Amino acid sequence: MTMKLAARGSLLLALSVCASTWAAAQQWKAPTSMKKLANGLTVVVSEDHSAPTFGICVSYGIGFRLEPEGRTGFAHLFEHLMFEGTPDAPKGVLERVIEGGGGSNNGDTRYDYTEYIETAPISALEPVLWTEADRMKTLDFSQKNLDNQRNVVEEEVRVNVMNQPYGLFFAIDLPGKAFDTYPNAHNFYGDFKDLDASRIEDVKAFYEQYYSPNNAVLAVVGDVRPEDVYAKVEQYFGAIAARPTPPRPVVEEPPQRTERRSAETDTLAKVPALAIGYHMPPRHSADALTGAITGELLHNGQASRLYQALVKDKQVALSVDGGVNWPLGTPYEYNGPTLMTSFIVYPPNVSEDQVLAAYDAAVQKLAQEGPSQQDLDRIVAKMRSDWYGNLEMPISRASALSHAVLYDGNFDSVYAIPDELAKVTPAQVRAFAAKYLVSANRTIINRTPAAGDGKSKGAGE
Amino acid sequence: MRVQAVGYFALLFATLAVAQKQAPLPKDLPPYGPEKPLAAPIVSASKLDNGLTVWLVQAPGIPQIAFDLAVRGGYAADPADRPGISKLLASTVTQGTHTKSAKEIAQEIQAAGGDLAASPHSDSIEVGTTVLSAKAEAGIAVLADVAQNAAFADEEVALAKRNGAADLEQQEAEASFLASKALAKELFGEHPYHVIAPTQDSIKASTAAELRQVYGQRFRPDQALLVAVGDFETDKMLEMIRGHFGGWKAPAGPPIAVLPASPHETKQEVTLVPRPGSVQTTLELGAFGPLRGNADYEAAQVANAIYGGEFGSRLVLNIREDKGYTYSPYSYERTLQAAGYYVTRADVRNEVTGPSLNEIFYELNRMVTTSPSEEELTTARRYLVGNEAIQLQARSSVADELANIWIDGLPPDEIGTYGRKIAQTTAADVNAAARKYFPAAKTTIVAVGEEKVVREALEPFGIPMRAAQ
């Protein structure tokens, strides 16, 4: 990088110069195009011949946020059922095709999408496309599959929540307290009573409503020629009929007026922890990227302000994690209300108030003084590098492209994010911190080790 | 298999099209396309005058370079009265040098687009970072400074000890940590490989002077490897590395001692680790396997993929997909410089603790008593070769893998031979490896959970059971 900070004239001028020099030196973009089929399926192709492999992501516009009331955890349970076979390709075929093709696959459910991802040597592209089209047509809606996967999901909740210290309370309980409406506040892993109440009719209805080609984006990245991919996608997906998608409900939240605090106990944790969540502005608002940067300035790595203040200087914390939309996505990929979350593990001989005092001092310093230009350049370099890292593997680039198109109708942000970050100024970060990182806008949960009564209060109940 | 599969090495796969016992594949499913050769990373290897081994790999694509500095000597080289001091060393080695504070180092590496992480392993300590290509020299400078001039200031050591103690306390609440620790003890007994973490006593007793001594013994150019993977010109990269590492001098004293021979047999036994409040039993089974570089290493890898290494493996199909006992059962082989071992892992709900172990035994023994089907074999081979190629698209994975190869004492082109050897593995090879390594009777069992649940569920097996030490 050849940026010369010393050449600065006025602040404004220096910033624009610095942003463009930076961009010229570091910009990276892969050839990418997109096309929409007559049935509404959007297809994105990014050509990359660095290895004879591919990555695929099919994202559907359905996540935790829109799952029906009384059916918490359903979007994720449904994701599991997408792997249980179809009339034409019974259970097991999917894995035989992908693993026999030398690849691997997975699925993820998040607030605003459910994605199905595969990566393999290029020879497996066609059969893998076929299996994705096949499960976009219909599924094997059997009670046996539902019962089996409900058990598997309940084991997943046990292993990731109930049998874990902290039980993901920063990801499940914190939104539960910070948000007021069902779409954003409910337990996305699902209450067992809701999972147990799920019926095969629910599965069919959910599929009918949300798993249509017009509610999906397919991204293919790798050793391909776009025209070949478009032709194959037309061949395998073209005949799948579009179906109406339910109108998107209002998911916005009423503003929070006062600080919310609560306490939990944990039978598995040996050391106390705090979760703090601030409401963030909507993704497309002018403040959104400034929020992402603020979150990373505070949380990203050992150079971050919270690590330096809490772990090193004041020594009131053992670890600090967090950021905007953390831990269930990048700070750029959300499509509804989200938080900047901090998860702080602290020593038993330190009090909650001591941790908070140090935390507030660090946040207030940012709100009063803002970052220096050097601080900002540093975090922008790190975020740029992190984002490129996210685009390195074909499977994760497919995922990023597919989410962007699902939210925005285009993939511009995927390649624009690094340069957009470089435009944010210290004054904007200072103003952002002063406006959003205030106590009335936050929720705090303190979770402390409990004597073993066999039950944790809070997450996973 | 109905799909027409042309193998990575077409000759070997020419005959696979028939014979399978599973249901036929869908009639409309298109066949696999023609294979393209999966090129392995090409390593440009050299050695500086001071003995530092440098392995460089050019990789096109995103503007990032991954660096990994590996030094010989990890947990297994820790002094007997300071087990796990490697972890304290790893957490303090990045926290300041003679000229830079910990904060300055963290900021410099962040400005280059990276994080600096040091991690302790059984046979090594590795310091790695991934930075923006244009900031390569800044990344190298930080690594070189840490490798040569770490300060171990008293206040940094005191803080790392305090946080390390709390971190260990927290880890001891996690079932997976308890299971891995008990399994290492069960497999290796008093051999240094049983150390996978510090103890509270060793953390408390360790001093800055001891850390400096261990650092001096291990961080020396003649016992170190530097790997760089990314978009750079090899000559220029080597020059930059020489500029920053060329002055690193090996001390006069001897390097770490040679490890004693590792055990290679274990007995069937249940080690119970009581964990009150557990809603699941964490089962971790261990058995010895081949070293990397052994003639049957690849065959054992294929056997493991068929048994529990892939999603479509026998173990996953049985206890997850058929019975729903567990979310994520899996098995893997771990190779150290002087030992290899298999681990089967499943977290199962309390009520199915016994049935789960029964099915795991069944699948282990089924590997011994039955040959893999043609489709199982083909799938496993392709899965291993394909996944290797896919993983090696990530710069940091290439760097990690090369460091592992170096630690195991193998040459850099080992990274290119794996796929070829896997593709040549036959059913007979797999069967022989399974007979040697997979019998349930050669496997030791760790169960972490509610004591009463585990006792009642596992006593009927009639296997000797004892509480963890």
A93: tokens are 């075929």
> What is the CATH class of A32-237?
alpha beta
- pLDDT above 70 (res A193): yes
Report the C-alpha gap between B455 and B450 in whole angstroms. Answer: 9
Prior bond to B254 cis, omega within 30? no
Whether the CB of A91 is below 8 Å from some CB of chain B: the reply is yes
B383–A149 CB contact, under 8 Å: no
Look at residue B14 in the predicted model and tell me its pLDDT: 27
Specify the DSSP class assigned to residue B94.
T
Report the C-alpha gap between A215 and A39 in whole angstroms. Answer: 10
For the entire predicted model, the pTM comes to 0.91
Cβ–Cβ < 8 Å for B69, B147: yes
Look at residue B253 in the predicted model and tell me its pLDDT: 84
Range in A229-233, A265-269, B139-143, B397-401 the model is least confident about: A265-269
- pLDDT above 50 (res A169): yes
B390–A125 CB contact, under 8 Å: no
Could you tell me how far CA B465 lies from the centroid of its own chain?
Answer: 29
Look at residue B23 in the predicted model and tell me its pLDDT: 77
Range in A37-46, A444-453, B3-12 the model is least confident about: B3-12
A392–B3 CB contact, under 8 Å: no
Sketch out chain B's domains with CATH numbers: 43-245 (3.30.830.10), 270-467 (3.30.830.10)
Look at residue B17 in the predicted model and tell me its pLDDT: 29
Report the C-alpha gap between B13 and B4 in whole angstroms. Answer: 10
- pLDDT above 60 (res A386): yes
Report the C-alpha gap between A80 and A63 in whole angstroms. Answer: 13
User: B218-277, pLDDT tens digit by residue?
Assistant: 999 999 999 999 999 999 999 999 999 999 998 888 888 889 999 999 999 999 999 998
Q: What percentage of chain A reaches a pLDDT higher than 90? A: 84
Cβ–Cβ < 8 Å for A307, A301: yes
CA neighbor of A314 nearest in space, from A361, A382, A267, A248: A361
Report the C-alpha gap between A21 and A9 in whole angstroms. Answer: 15
Residue count (chain A): 461
Domain at A260-449, CATH homologous superfamily: Metalloenzyme, LuxS/M16 peptidase-like (3.30.830.10)
- pLDDT above 60 (res A5): no
Residue type (1 letter), A116: Y
- pLDDT above 50 (res A23): no
Confidence of residue A26 (pLDDT cuts 50, 70, 90): low
Look at residue B18 in the predicted model and tell me its pLDDT: 30
Q: What is the β-pairing status of strands B444-449 and B270-274?
A: parallel
SS3 A66: helix
CA neighbor of B224 nearest in space, from B137, B142, B125: B125
Q: What is the β-pairing status of strands A104-109 and B124-132?
A: unpaired
Whether the CB of A392 is below 8 Å from some CB of chain B: the reply is yes
Residue count (chain B): 469
Q: Does the ipTM surpass 0.85? A: yes
User: B96-108, pLDDT tens digit by residue?
Assistant: 999 999 999 999 9
- pLDDT above 80 (res A330): yes
Please name the residues in contact with B153: beta carbons below 8 A apart, sequence gap of 6 or more: B95, B96, B208
Start-to-end C-alpha separation, chain B: 50
Which residues of chain A lie closer than 8 angstroms to B326, CB-CB? Answer: 152, 155, 159
Q: Which of B327, B347, B381 to mutate to test the interface with A (most CBs of A within 10 A)?
A: B327
Cβ–Cβ < 8 Å for B443, B286: yes
Which residues of chain B lie closer than 8 angstroms to A77, CB-CB? Answer: none
A384–B132 CB contact, under 8 Å: yes
From the list B38, B280, B324, which residue is nearest A52 (CB)? B38
- On the 0-12 / 13-18 / 19+ scale of CB atoms within 10 A, B460 is exposed
- pLDDT above 70 (res A14): no
Look at residue B419 in the predicted model and tell me its pLDDT: 87
Report the C-alpha gap between A316 and A356 in whole angstroms. Answer: 9
Cβ–Cβ < 8 Å for B57, B41: yes
Where are the domain boundaries for CATH 3.30.830.10 in chain A? 32-237, 260-449
- pLDDT above 60 (res A454): no
- pLDDT above 80 (res B113): yes
From the list A90, A99, A385, which residue is nearest B131 (CB)? A385
CA neighbor of B146 nearest in space, from B97, B107, B101: B97
Cβ–Cβ < 8 Å for B183, B123: no
Chain A stretch 267-296, residues whose beta carbon is closer than 8 A to a beta carbon of chain B: 267-271
Q: What does the pLDDT average to over B329-345?
A: 95
The Cα of B258 is separated from the nearest Cα of chain A by a number of Å equal to 35
Residue type (1 letter), A135: R
- On the 0-12 / 13-18 / 19+ scale of CB atoms within 10 A, A326 is buried
Report the C-alpha gap between A92 and A85 in whole angstroms. Answer: 7
Confidence of residue B328 (pLDDT cuts 50, 70, 90): confident
Chain B stretch 369-428, residues whose beta carbon is closer than 8 A to a beta carbon of chain A: 375, 378-379, 382-383, 385-387, 389-390, 393-395
B386–A101 CB contact, under 8 Å: yes
Specify the DSSP class assigned to residue A85.
B
Chain B stretch 337-356, residues whose beta carbon is closer than 8 A to a beta carbon of chain A: 347-349
Range in A13-27, A282-296, A429-443, B124-138 the model is least confident about: A13-27
Q: Name the closest residue on chain B to residue A268, using Cα atoms.
A: B173
Whether the CB of B279 is below 8 Å from some CB of chain A: the reply is yes
Torsion over CA: A361, A366, A371, A376 (sign): positive
Token pair 């809490």: residue: A310
Q: What does the pLDDT average to over A157-172?
A: 89
B389–A51 CB contact, under 8 Å: yes
Token pair 């059971």: residue: B465
SS3 A290: helix
Report the C-alpha gap between B119 and A329 in whole angstroms. Answer: 26
Report the C-alpha gap between A107 and B88 in whole angstroms. Answer: 37
Runs of H (alpha helix) within A138-189: 143-157, 173-178, 182-185
Whether the CB of A125 is below 8 Å from some CB of chain B: the reply is yes
Cβ–Cβ < 8 Å for A187, A13: no
In angstroms, the Cα distances linking B174 to A163, A166, A219, B170, B325 are: 8, 11, 38, 7, 20
Q: What does the pLDDT average to over A383-391?
A: 97
Q: How many CB pairs below 8 Å do chains A and B form together?
A: 267
SS3 A434: helix
Count CB-CB contacts under 10 A for residue A133.
21
H or E, element range at A59: strand A53-60
Whether the CB of B155 is below 8 Å from some CB of chain A: the reply is no
Start-to-end C-alpha separation, chain A: 51
Count CB-CB contacts under 10 A for residue B79.
12
Q: What does the pLDDT average to over B185-203?
A: 97
Please name the residues in contact with B86: beta carbons below 8 A apart, sequence gap of 6 or more: B73, B74, B75, B77, B78, B120, B125, B214
User: B21-47, pLDDT tens digit by residue?
Assistant: 467 899 999 999 998 887 889 999 999
Q: Name the closest residue on chain B to residue A347, using Cα atoms.
A: B166
CA neighbor of B83 nearest in space, from B249, B194, B177, B230: B194
Token pair 């569920």: residue: B457
Look at residue B304 in the predicted model and tell me its pLDDT: 97
Specify the DSSP class assigned to residue B261.
P
Report the C-alpha gap between B32 and A124 in whole angstroms. Answer: 5
Look at residue A161 in the predicted model and tell me its pLDDT: 85
DSSP string of B392-428?
TTSHHHHHHHHHHHHHTT--TTHHHHHHHHHHT--HH
Chain A stretch 31-70, residues whose beta carbon is closer than 8 A to a beta carbon of chain B: 48, 50-53
Runs of H (alpha helix) within A28-124: 74-81, 93-100
Report the C-alpha gap between A117 and A441 in whole angstroms. Answer: 36
SS3 A170: coil
Look at residue A10 in the predicted model and tell me its pLDDT: 30
Q: What does the pLDDT average to over A108-134?
A: 97
Look at residue B469 in the predicted model and tell me its pLDDT: 67
Look at residue A24 in the predicted model and tell me its pLDDT: 42
Confidence of residue A359 (pLDDT cuts 50, 70, 90): very high
H or E, element range at A228: helix A226-237
Cβ–Cβ < 8 Å for B223, B255: yes
- pLDDT above 60 (res A319): yes
Vertex B112 angle, CA B110 and B116, to 5°: 50
Look at residue B22 in the predicted model and tell me its pLDDT: 66
- On the 0-12 / 13-18 / 19+ scale of CB atoms within 10 A, B10 is exposed
Q: Name the closest residue on chain B to residue A383, using Cα atoms.
A: B113
Whether the CB of A121 is below 8 Å from some CB of chain B: the reply is yes
Q: What does the pLDDT average to over B435-462?
A: 97
Report the C-alpha gap between A270 and B265 in whole angstroms. Answer: 36
Q: What is the β-pairing status of strands A42-47 and A32-36?
A: antiparallel
Prior bond to B255 cis, omega within 30? no
Look at residue A11 in the predicted model and tell me its pLDDT: 30
- pLDDT above 60 (res A6): no
Report the C-alpha gap between A308 and A306 in whole angstroms. Answer: 5
Which residues of chain B lie closer than 8 angstroms to A392, CB-CB? Answer: 61-62, 64, 393-395
Which residues of chain A lie closer than 8 angstroms to B395, CB-CB? Answer: 392
Report the C-alpha gap between A294 and A223 in whole angstroms. Answer: 37
Specify the DSSP class assigned to residue B252.
S
Report the C-alpha gap between A411 and A183 in whole angstroms. Answer: 26
Q: What does the pLDDT average to over A241-265?
A: 95
Give strand ranges (E) for B11-153.
43-47, 53-58, 64-72, 117-120, 124-132
Vertex B383 angle, CA B379 and B384, to 5°: 125
From the list B94, B276, B394, which residue is nearest A393 (CB)? B394
Confidence of residue A7 (pLDDT cuts 50, 70, 90): very low
